[in-house]
Amino acid sequence: MTKRTIKIINELGIHARPAGMIANTASRFACDIRLVKDGMEVNAKSIMGIMTLAAGKGSAIEITAKGSDEGEAVAALADLFEKKFDED
Amino acid sequence: MLIKKGVPASLGIAIGKAHIVKEENILIEQKDVPPEKIKAEVKRFKEALDKTKLDLDAIRGKILNVLGKQHAKLIDAHHLILQDPLITKEVPKLIVSKGMNAEFALSEILDKAEEQFEKIDDEFFHERKHDIFDVGKKIISNLVNSKKTSLKDLKDPVIIVAHNLYPSDTLHIRESNKVLGFCMDLGSKSSHTAIFAQSMGIPAVVGLSDISRQIQSGDTLVVDGEQGMVIISPTTEIIEKYKVRKEELQKQEHFFHRLKGLPATTRDGHKISLMCNLDSAEDAPELPAVKSEGVGLYRTEFLYMNRDSVPTEEEQLTAYSSVVKAAPGIPLTIRTADIGGDRATQLGIKGLKDERNPFMGFRGIRLFIKYPELLKTQLRAIYKANTEGNIKVMIPMLSSADELLTVKRIAADVKTELAEEGFSVGKDPEFGVMVEIPAAAIILDSLLGEIDFVSIGTNDLVQYTLAVDRINQYVSELYEPFHPAVLRLINLVVQTAHKKGKPVSVCGEMASDPYAIPLLIGLGVDILSVPAKMYLRSKHSVRSMSFEKFTGIAQRALSMATSDEIRRLVEEEVK
């Protein structure tokens, strides 16, 4: 299992578009990926789940992945957060 | 009382209560699915997902055009919702484990998601739930088609008020037989609903922009299909006035009925052929009812509607034969189906992507050449139905000689096939092309060697000549059948065809316009094909005009620069 905690630094938080990017990226991997915020856990491949996290700027999210490609998956997702989901 | 101006789409006056057709009001029923049907239920759900995906693609194209890329991204999010495991995995799981129907299982999942969203304090995130329910609604409407059933089950006579109606809706309206009139936000004089309303003789006003949001079901309305007006909550005086006018119109109708069986000959003895357009075999009894000389356009698209498989040869043969039987001995011009890619997808033809601009896209003979089996099936049915030798075949959306040769080759193959199967093919049906795309008008001389007749579909010819989408409210004003370019193209077609002795018919909406009729005949058009409800009225127009006079007027119109001048000239002369 690979785990990583990451802080949301983009201005708008995880609204529809970033949630879409996360679900899209997560869906490319075979492993099971979960996002946890304040004890609430959702499937990272589910855009609806991700949006219900209501993760605004400054909140912390834990990414956990389990499966053959878990390392790559977590790295790819963390990369999205760090690049602020390509927001200007 | 409030008066709304729109576009007069079908003559007549209707007075009655409004019935608003809403697209979103869908009642979801819980039904138990028996174990042996579970697999089919899951499949039905998956198909609704596929259909929704296509719908979203279509919307995306429109948004991209109108609002730009940033907005189109929202649709990308909608696509992701469609692929969300909650929907793709959890819904089928519920169907299987609980034996629930797909609609109910989906609404259960959506309700749960909504609950989660309700818990969110942050307003911004909270509002995102609309994105989800938008998609959910689309899937559900693709599952239940509920508004259509509601139209079919109308109990009392009503005036239908809608944002837009789809061809499949009109089919249900026909079945309900309870519709007094139509009011629509969108549409123009030649949109599908208008054509449908004319053929049913139902008064209609379209292009009313937002009427479906301004009134409520049960409001009293007057639909004035002559002036293109809708009066909301009219006063008693107004209602009385319209009742009188309605009676006058009925008297006029009565007068037209006396023309039944009389020839369509101008005052000065020039005879033309006046025929009917036919939308479906069910309407065939109207042909003897008005004593039509023939069918100038049998639209076969209805055979392909409201179903998920292509109509078989047998079904088509039954339909065509029933028309031949209902109106024996008169020419029957069958147009091969002018269906688009979206319809083909619903009929189970795989691999078609939604198009950004279907009017310029994959429809008519283009689609049938790509899927020759569809054309073959239709031609086989036509050959078999042609026992009396009166059937003609008309090719829609033709734009090149290559397409014509391909169709003729396929027709020859079909004939050989039938002969090999021991079916005695009688007389070859005549072949003709629809001139709808200006290219066909311009190259007509190169097509004439292969065809027996030419038919001008003015609705599409106007649309393609002027590059005006007739259902686009921003440009629908530019849709002008009296545009000099249109008249000159019609003139070119008539002159070219007559040089080779081939007759020209007009089967668009112009053919029943009392101002266009004398102009078309003046240009030399030989056949007019009109909705059955307009047949006798149109005959009156023909019988009231002088051919000699309008030959001259048509020549003058051809030299005019603007449609206004042409309209003034014609309106002056048609009294």
Convert B433-450 to b/e letters by CB count within 10 Å (16 or more is b). bbbbbbebbebbeebbee
Task: Tell me what pLDDT residue B510 has.
Answer: 95
Interface of B with A (CB under 8 A): 73-74, 76-77, 80-81, 83-87, 113, 116-117, 119-122, 124-126, 128, 131-132
| Residue B51 vs residue B120, higher pLDDT | B51
Amino acid, res. A75: A
Listed range (B59-68, B81-90, B310-319, B339-348) with the worst mean pLDDT: B59-68
Q: How far apart are CA A46 and CA B81, in angstroms?
A: 8
Task: Tell me what pLDDT residue B149 has.
Answer: 47
Tell me the residue ranges of DSSP E strands in B415-478.
Answer: 430-435, 453-456
Q: How far apart are CA B83 and CA B87, in angstroms?
A: 7
How many of the other CB atoms lie within 10 Å of CB of B527? 25
Listed range (B316-330, B344-358, B365-379) with the worst mean pLDDT: B344-358
| Residue B111 vs residue B60, higher pLDDT | B111
| Residue B165 vs residue B369, higher pLDDT | B369
| Chain A residue at shortest CA distance from B72 | A17
How many of the other CB atoms lie within 10 Å of CB of B395? 26
Residues 6+ apart with CB under 8 A from B9: B182, B184, B187, B188, B189, B191, B193, B194, B197, B198, B204, B205, B206, B207, B225, B228
Of B320, B339, B310, the closest CA to residue B282 belongs to: B320
Of B74, B83, B85, the CB nearest to A16: B74
Distance of residue A25 Cα from the nearest chain B Cα, in angstroms: 11
How many of the other CB atoms lie within 10 Å of CB of B409? 11
Listed range (B107-121, B266-280, B282-296, B446-460) with the worst mean pLDDT: B107-121
User: Cβ(B478)–Cβ(B437) under 8 Å?
Assistant: no
**Per the CB < 8 Å rule, is A20 touching B121?**
no
Give the model's confidence band at B71: pLDDT under 50 very low, under 70 low, under 90 confident, else very high: low
Return the H-helix or E-strand segment holding B381: helix B372-385
Tokens of B237: 């005086």
Task: Tell me what pLDDT residue B148 has.
Answer: 45
pLDDT value at B348 more than 90: no
> How far is residue A85 from each of residues A20, A77, B360, measured CA to CA in Å?
10, 10, 37
Listed range (B240-254, B401-415, B449-463) with the worst mean pLDDT: B240-254
Segments in B327-371 forming alpha helices (H): 341-346, 364-370
User: Cβ(B452)–Cβ(B330) under 8 Å?
Assistant: no
Distance of residue B74 Cα from the nearest chain A Cα, in angstroms: 7
Among all chains, which residue has been given the structure tokens 């001008």?
A: B456
Mutate to test the interface with B, among A32, A41, A43, A47 (most CBs of B within 10 A): A47
The residues of B assigned a catalytic role are 192, 507
**Bridge partners, residue B295, by sequence:** B276, B332
Taking the Cβ of residue A30 and every Cβ of chain B, the question of whether any pair is shorter than 8 Å is answered with no
3-state secondary structure of B323: helix
User: Cβ(B521)–Cβ(B244) under 8 Å?
Assistant: no
Give the model's confidence band at B346: pLDDT under 50 very low, under 70 low, under 90 confident, else very high: confident
DSSP B478: G
Q: pLDDT by residue (tens digit) across B399-431?
A: 999 999 999 999 999 999 999 999 888 788 999
Mutate to test the interface with A, among B71, B84, B119, B123 (most CBs of A within 10 A): B84
Q: How far apart are CA B151 and CA B161, in angstroms?
A: 11
Average pLDDT value for residue range B334-343: 89
Listed range (B190-194, B278-282, B369-373) with the worst mean pLDDT: B190-194
Among all chains, which residue has been given the structure tokens 């869906």?
A: A27
3-state secondary structure of B183: strand
- Degrees to nearest 5, angle at CA B391 with B342 and B528: 80
Percent of chain B with pLDDT over 70: 91
Tell me the residue ranges of DSSP E strands in A48-88.
Answer: 60-66
* Residue B98 burial (C-beta neighbours within 10 Å; 0-12, 13-18, 19+): middle
pLDDT value at B188 more than 80: no
Strands lying side by side in the sheet with B204-206: B2-5, B229-232, B220-224, B13-21, B158-162, B179-184, B204-206, B7-10
Q: In chain B, what residues touch A19 (CB-CB under 8 Å)?
A: 77, 80
* Torsion angle defined by CA atoms of residues B566, B572, B573 and B575, in that order, rounded to the nearest 10 degrees: 130
Task: Tell me what pLDDT residue B349 has.
Answer: 81
| Residue B381 vs residue B282, higher pLDDT | B381
pLDDT value at B272 more than 90: yes
Q: How far apart are CA B175 and CA B161, in angstroms?
A: 17
3-state helix, strand, coil in chain B (%, to 5): 55, 15, 30
**Per the CB < 8 Å rule, is B86 touching A24?**
no
Mutate to test the interface with B, among A11, A52, A88 (most CBs of B within 10 A): A52
Average pLDDT value for residue range B20-36: 73
Tokens of B309: 């498989």
What pTM did the predictor assign? 0.63
Task: Tell me what pLDDT residue B209 has.
Answer: 83
User: Cβ(A1)–Cβ(A70) under 8 Å?
Assistant: yes
pLDDT value at B73 more than 70: no
Task: Tell me what pLDDT residue A52 has.
Answer: 84
Q: How far apart are CA B230 and CA B223, in angstroms?
A: 5
Average pLDDT value for residue range B254-271: 95
| Residue B516 vs residue B79, higher pLDDT | B516
Mean pLDDT of chain B: 88
| Cα B460 from chain centroid (whole Å) | 11
Average pLDDT value for residue range B261-284: 94
Average pLDDT value for residue range B101-111: 87
Q: In chain B, what residues touch A52 (CB-CB under 8 Å)?
A: 113, 116-117, 119-120
Residues 6+ apart with CB under 8 A from B259: B536, B539, B540, B543
pLDDT value at B229 more than 90: yes
| Residue B159 vs residue B111, higher pLDDT | B159
Residues 6+ apart with CB under 8 A from B467: none
Task: Tell me what pLDDT residue B546 has.
Answer: 97
Percent of chain B with pLDDT over 90: 56
Give the model's confidence band at B193: pLDDT under 50 very low, under 70 low, under 90 confident, else very high: confident
3-state secondary structure of B278: strand
Among all chains, which residue has been given the structure tokens 């008064």?
A: B203
Sign of CA dihedral B15, B21, B25, B27: positive
Choosing from A15, A36, A59, A72, the catalytic residue is A15
Of A13, A17, A48, the CB nearest to B84: A48
Q: pLDDT by residue (tens digit) across B39-53?
A: 999 998 998 888 888
3-state secondary structure of B104: helix
Task: Tell me what pLDDT residue B26 has.
Answer: 53
> How far is residue B325 from each of residues B124, B298, B357, B388, B515, measured CA to CA in Å?
65, 15, 39, 10, 34
Average pLDDT value for residue range B294-314: 91
**For each of chain A's 88 residues, which pLDDT tens digit applies?**
999 999 988 887 887 778 888 998 999 999 999 999 988 899 999 988 888 888 888 889 999 999 999 999 999 999 998 888 877 5
Dihedrals phi, psi of B555, to nearest 5 degrees: -65, -40
Q: How far apart are CA B6 and CA B27, in angstroms?
A: 32
Task: Tell me what pLDDT residue B526 has.
Answer: 98
Of A24, A46, A51, the CB nearest to B128: A51
Of B515, B512, B468, B463, the closest CA to residue B489 belongs to: B463
Give the model's confidence band at B136: pLDDT under 50 very low, under 70 low, under 90 confident, else very high: confident
Q: In chain A, what residues touch B117 (CB-CB under 8 Å)?
A: 51-52
User: Cβ(B421)–Cβ(B428) under 8 Å?
Assistant: no
| Residue B308 vs residue B395, higher pLDDT | B395
Taking the Cβ of residue A13 and every Cβ of chain B, the question of whether any pair is shorter than 8 Å is answered with yes
| Chain B residue at shortest CA distance from A19 | B77
Give the model's confidence band at B171: pLDDT under 50 very low, under 70 low, under 90 confident, else very high: low
Tokens of B242: 């319209």
